[in-house]
Amino acid sequence: MEALLRVLLLLAGVLLAWLMLLGLRLQLGAAPRRRWLHHLLFFVVSALSVVATAVCALTGRRFAVLACACLLLLLMPLTRPGRSAHWQLALAASVTFVLGAGLAW
């Protein structure tokens, strides 16, 4: 179970970094036709984060910070892309995920 958790956390972390970089490119207008990929990555990262949080909870590891990251990710659709609240929430979710993954590792 520990190996599964680490794979989930690493995969979610790498995809989250890709998601953030793609979001930055979209914000700057460098990748206007990649919005579908940004949305797909968001869905995958959210799903992996929820599964990793569940695995942490089931194995007795610290999962509260990861659960907060999941909550922040799930709040993302409430913000408007291109607005400051969108990237600020994305950054908060990313930092929270990294802290949660470190605690769960």
98 pLDDT higher than 90: yes
- 27-81 pLDDT, tens per residue? 999 988 899 999 999 999 999 999 999 999 999 999 999 999 999 999 999 999 9
- Checking if the pLDDT of 82 tops 90, the result is no
What spatial distance separates the first Cα and last Cα of the chain, rounded to whole Å? Answer: 12
Structure-token match 């953030």, residue found: 20
- pLDDT average, residue stretch 84-89: 96
Domain residue limits, the chain = 2-104
CA-based nearest residue to 105, from 4, 5, 22, 1 = 5
Model pLDDT, residue 92: 98
